[in-house]
Amino acid sequence: MHILVTGGAGFIGTHTLIELYKSGHTAVVVDNLSNSNPVALHRVEELINQSQVTGHRSQVTIPFYHTDIRDREGLEQVFEKHRFDACIHFAGLKAVGESVEKPWEYYDNNIGGTLTLVDVMRKHGCKNIIFSSSATVYGDPVEIPITENCPKGQCTNPYGWTKSMLEQVLMDIQKSDPEWRVVLLRYFNPVGAHPSGRIGENPNGIPNNLMPYITQVAVGKRKELGVFGNDYDTPDGTGVRDYIHVCDLANAHVCALQAITRKCGIGIYNIGTGHGYSVLDMVKAFINVNGVDVPYSIKPRRAGDIATCYCNPTKAKVELGWQSKYGIEDMVRDSWNWQKTNPNGYPLQAE
């Protein structure tokens, strides 16, 4: 299939491009580079071209458009040049704290951008979309492990609301026009990196998320990790999450593409491993597997955090034929491999 990948230069997008080409698909990337670097796409091409398993005989170049998804004319031009079978829609802003400071920018970018994208898609007869949603739509979940039947909850920040609202928007559009096929993938906590160490997570400024913070402490860029609370109702008192290797997550999109061609309507899937690990489990695994120190101290709870969040991923296994393969050791090893070989992330100049 020929796939439009919005936000394809980002963390999850780059890893997904590799899985797409591995499975014989081709892609076009639209990204405004607001949180990414074109070097990442060059490295994706390099990895695809080195791979023996892609089945692509000539050198692969992935068409890239430096375009904002809110730019209707820019998107129109992309759709006039290419005929897409489906869109995997990653483009969006994702920093929880920033979304509290800049709600208008989040609603404009994430909701405005998706509305424009979907309008241009339908105009050009492309009505298959896989949307990056999040476990955040469950709020403080009423059941653990979380199944897709768990009711959606109150989000604690504008970022979360954009995901929750966009799920509703896409479901309503599908209801009004059954030609649409919509897959909502609710990601749990993506970590890790491609095992080559050539692509990985490249946060701007101080990382919000646990794993990039750990790796930056380990590489000496930050003094110590603050563990946000050790008085939660969890086995060791620290927050429990369902960390998933980004390559497993990327592969879920390929499985969702196969399913989208078989099935009409709407599919909603949790994409996690089904295992919950605490903050201290992650820190200890990182230290043991990688043999590096990660100094930490206990800090107060972070506003908006919940104690425990992990899923039951059975529905994705049964209906998409997807399940995670990587464990916690792989996640901490690959995260470290990426950070230690790219201590400052991607270079600013093209390689």
- Is 194 an interacting residue with respect to ligand NAD (CB under 6 A)? no
- Is 272 an interacting residue with respect to ligand NAD (CB under 6 A)? no
Q: Which of 215, 233, 217, 236 is nearest to 225 (CA)?
A: 217
Binds 158, which of ligand UFG, ligand NAD, none (CB < 5 to 8 A, cut-off by type)? Answer: none
Long-range contacts of 291-297 (CB under 8 A, 24+ apart): 292/218, 292/336, 293/218, 294/214, 294/217, 294/218, 294/225, 295/217, 295/223, 295/224, 295/225, 296/217, 296/224, 296/225, 296/226, 296/227, 297/224, 297/225, 297/226, 297/227
Side chain identity at residue 163, one-letter code: K
CA pair distance 303, 96, nearest whole angstrom: 11
CA pair distance 116, 119, nearest whole angstrom: 5
Minimum Å distance from CB 293 to ligand NAD? 25
Q: Which listed residue (21, 65, 159, 326) is catalytic?
A: 159
Q: Mask 103-142, x = binds ligand NAD (CB under 6 A)?
A: ------x---x------------------x-x--------
- Is 302 an interacting residue with respect to ligand UFG (CB under 6 A)? yes
Give the chain's length: 351
Minimum Å distance from CB 159 to ligand NAD? 7
Among 21, 64, 180, 188, binds ligand UFG (CB under 6 A): 188
Token code pair at residue 121: 């898609």
Binding part of the chain for ligand UFG, among 124-132, 168-176, 202-210, 215-223 by CB under 6 A, reads: 202-210
Q: Mask 90-109, x = binds ligand NAD (CB under 6 A)?
A: xxxxx--------------x
Binds 11, which of ligand UFG, ligand NAD, none (CB < 5 to 8 A, cut-off by type)? Answer: ligand NAD
Catalytically active residues, by annotation: 159
